[in-house]
Structure 1
Amino acid sequence: MAIISTADELFDSDVYVDLGHTLRIPLHLKCEGFNFAGSVKLRAATSMVASALRLGLIDEHSTMVESSSGNLGVALSVVAAARSLRFVCVTDPKCNPATVKLMRAFGSDVVVADRPDADGGYLTARKTLVRELCSRNSGYVWLNQYENPANWLAHYENTAPLIAKQFPELDVLFIGTGTGGTLTGCVRWFRDNRPGVRIVAVDTVGSVNFGMPAGPRHLPGLGAGEPMPLVEATPMDEIVRVHERDSVRMCRRLARHGFLMGGSTGTVVSGAARWLERHDPAGALTSVAISADMGDRYIETVYDDAWVRSIYGDLDKEQEESHG
């Protein structure tokens, strides 16, 4: 029995979904969405706030500020509410409407950077707005998830060793790539403790991570519109890139079996399935993928037929033609 006193104390989960049973994919999915923030980002949020308090960077008079496309903003909102701190999230129009409502429900302020960068993305615009807010307002402190070591340390100290404990014979770990916190923490832990485990980074097409060209992206979470310092400093075994169409298809495929997962999870599972089909057709490897969040806040996007058609066209028809 787990008894907690504040909402930010609950973030460890031992729930894994065996996708071999339903989807015939030899993969265990570690579900990180069973906490009050609904995502793996609660680990990073808790770690960054605790570090900032410990170092004296923030106190009860401070206002924390962070740029986020969604999940980290919700996670920091939960931590701020639990610790009676103030938080401002700078997001953009691609943030799911449900996510914005969640942050405001927790008492956070939400500011939208509504003008894209020169390349059509919003990351640079969000970071510029964060800097402007901090320069104009005394007591505003940017946590800076993009370079904050407390981001990746949360996964070095918790996520990676928990996976290793549950899967002592682990061969391959699939991790989605956004700012690089989860990826960096897990890579460093396994390099230090279980170097034989292969780490496969899964990114979305259109992300500039790993030196790839920028392109249009519509799903928040994975990917980046500018190089991420944590990603650039992390050596990878392999990289798999997934088109957003395939991410949406996988989300909907999972939902048909009762698993309502977020867009990032659809991307990671799609990439992992493709990698395993190519490298492990017999299903002999022990493989795990990290599911960043659940799908409830994607109801108005990934799981809305009209939204999907407006962005990607008729995916069902496209898939029928590809198999015709």
Structure 2
Amino acid sequence: MPVISAPHSFNEGQLYVDLQPILGRSLYLKCEGFNFAGSIKLKAAIEMVESAERDGLLTKDSVLIESSSGNLGVALSVIAASKGYRFLCVTDSRCNLSTRLLMEALGSEVHVIADLDANGGFLGARIDYVRALCASDERYVWLSQYTNPGNWQAHYRKTAPEIAEQFPQLDVLFVGAGTTGTLMGCARYFREWHRPVRIVAVDTVGSVAFGGTPGRRMIPGLGMSMRPPLLDESYVDEVIQVEEADTIRACHRLARRGFLFGGSTGTVVSGASGWLDRHGSPDLTAVAIAPDLGERYLDTIYQQTWLEDLYGDRVLHGDDDEREEADDGARDSEEVTAGSAGAERASHSGEHRHRRGSRS
């Protein structure tokens, strides 16, 4: 049995959920939420903190500071508490209340930004605040997840090899796009692999990470209000953008089968499901990455009043839910047919897709 003395020493990296019974398509979901930080961000946080320690940037008087919509803030709170550092997380009003309370319980300070930036998001304002504090006091050490190579290197060294070990015949990998650390680390690894793997980035509508028009985004995790500095699109074969309403439906569909996941996972599963309905084949090996679990979203995407206020009282009555309610028993060929039809309707109404040229 594992015996640890530091919370960041434990991270279950080889747990997958077979979504075939739920989606009617073969898709393996890599669960990254089983650690003391509760998300995939623990990997990047460890890499960035330990790199700063090796470079002599952190001392006993240092104050870690980072801009985060939630999960990286929790991961850094766990590490800071374990290592004895002070930590200030600069977040915004979309951050889940439970996430803010969790960071504070771990001894971190939390500053909430309420003003939107020029792109209609909070990221620019958060970064401006971090830069101002760093300029005012040299004790602050900004890890900068948006530009720090340790962000993607963590997934090049850990996440991608974990997938490769379990799925040596991998054909397509679906990765959510936020800072694009996970995306770039996995994409770089599989570019060098023994067989071609199609890398599909899943973003949220309203994000400008891959271009497009900025829009309202209420679910934290994926999406950016600026182009991610770490992003190199030459490693990405295709980009799928998913409406937040479809994210919510996917989360509730999984929850009705006993799997409570976060908003980022709902986005990735929704995008992957639609892609597989259009392009999948029985012999295709597909994996999607689930960044976190759903407990921190109980007062948002799993709370009826919050949903109705933001998305209307019909948000849970889309194509996916109607199909799920029509056949809540065993999944058979009829559900596969209905799933294809539902995905086709979604492709004309809510989901926006951008195709990238295939790699040679």
Corresponding position of 1:40:
40
* CA-CA distance at 1:153 after TM superposition: 0.5
1:259 aligns with 2:253: no
Amino acid at match of 2:71: N
Cα deviations by residue, 1:41-89 (Å, 9 ceiling, x for unpaired)? 0000010000000001112210010000010000000111111111100
The alignment yields a C-alpha RMSD, in angstroms, of: 1.7
Q: Point out 4+ residue stretches in structure 1 off by more than 3 angstroms.
A: 316-324
The 5-angstrom pairing of residues 224-263 of structure 1 reads 224-232=224-232, 235-263=235-263
Structure 1 unmatched runs, 5+: none
Q: Which residue of 1 aligns with 2:151?
A: 151
Deviation at 1:128, TM superposition (A): 0.2
- Aligned positions of 1:105-254 closer than 5 A: 105-232=105-232, 235-254=235-254
Q: Per-residue deviation at 1:197?
A: 0.9
Equivalent position of 1:293 in the other structure: 292
User: Is the CA contact (8 Å cut-off) linking 1:210 and 1:232 kept in structure 2?
Assistant: no
SS of the residue corresponding to residue 156 of structure 1 reads helix
**Residue aligned with 1:209, SS:** coil
Contact 2:205–2:243 under 8 Å retained in 1: yes
Amino acid in the other structure paired with 1:15? L
State how far apart, in whole Å, the 1-side matches of 2:28 and 2:317 are. 30
Aligned-residue identity in percent: 55
Q: 1:107 to 1:20 in 2, by over 3 A?
A: same
| Contact residue 13 and residue 162 of structure 2 kept, 8 A | no
Separation in structure 2 between the aligned mates of residue 273 and residue 110 of structure 1, nearest angstrom = 36
Q: How many Å apart are 1:136 and its aligned residue? A: 1.7
Aligned-pair distance for 1:132? 1.0
Secondary structure of the residue aligned to 2:241 is strand
Which one is further off, 88-97 or 192-201?
Answer: 192-201
Instruction: Name which of structure 1's ranges 43-52 and 13-22 shifts more when overlaid on structure 2.
Output: 13-22
Tell me the equivalent position of 2:96.
96
Does the Cα contact within 8 Å between 1:47 and 1:154 map onto a contact in 2?
Answer: yes
Shift of 1:134: 1.0
Q: Counterpart of 1:24?
A: 24
Deviations 1:231-279 (A, max 9, x none): 2465311111100000000000000000000000000000000000000
CA distance in 1 between counterparts of 2:282 and 2:39 reads: 28
Of structures 1 and 2, the larger Rg is shown by 2
- Do the aligned residues in 2 keep the contact of 1:187 with 1:234 (CA within 8 Å)? no
Q: Secondary structure at the residue paired with 2:57?
A: coil
- Structure 1 residues 166 and 3: alpha-carbon distance in aligned structure 2, compared to 1, 3 A threshold: same
- 1:316 and 1:37 map into 2 onto residues whose CA distance is 29
Residue equivalent to 1:73: 73
Distance 1:31 1:318, change over 3 A: closer
Q: 1:186 to 1:52 in 2, by over 3 A?
A: same
Q: Secondary structure at the match of 2:215?
A: coil
1:155–1:93 CA distance, 2 compared to 1 (3 A):
same
Q: How far apart are the structure 2 equivalents of 1:69 and 1:288?
A: 25
Give the AA of the match of 1:198.
R
Indicate the SS of the match to 1:231: coil
Q: Distance in 1 between matches of 2:284 and 2:318?
A: 32
Moved more, 86-95 or 309-318: 309-318
Per mean C-alpha deviation after superposition, the further-off stretch among 237-246 and 308-317 is: 308-317
State TM-score, norm by structure 1: 0.96
User: Deviation string for 1:127-185 (max 9, x for gaps)?
Assistant: 00001111122310110000101111000000001100010111111000000100010
- How many angstroms does 1:2 deviate by? 1.5
Counterpart in 2 of 1:312?
311
SS in 1 for 2:210: helix
State how far apart, in whole Å, the 2-side matches of 1:318 and 1:196 are. 35
Question: Residue 50 of structure 1 aligns to which amino acid in structure 2?
Answer: E
- The one-letter amino acid of 1:18's match is D
Do 2:199 and 2:235's aligned partners in 1 also have CA atoms closer than 8 Å? no
AA at the equivalent of 2:288: A
User: What is the deviation of 1:3?
Assistant: 1.5
Q: Tell me the alpha carbon deviations over residues 15-55 of structure 1, each in whole angstroms, 9 at most, x when there is no partner.
A: 10000023323100000000000000000001000000000
Return the offset for 1:284. 1.9
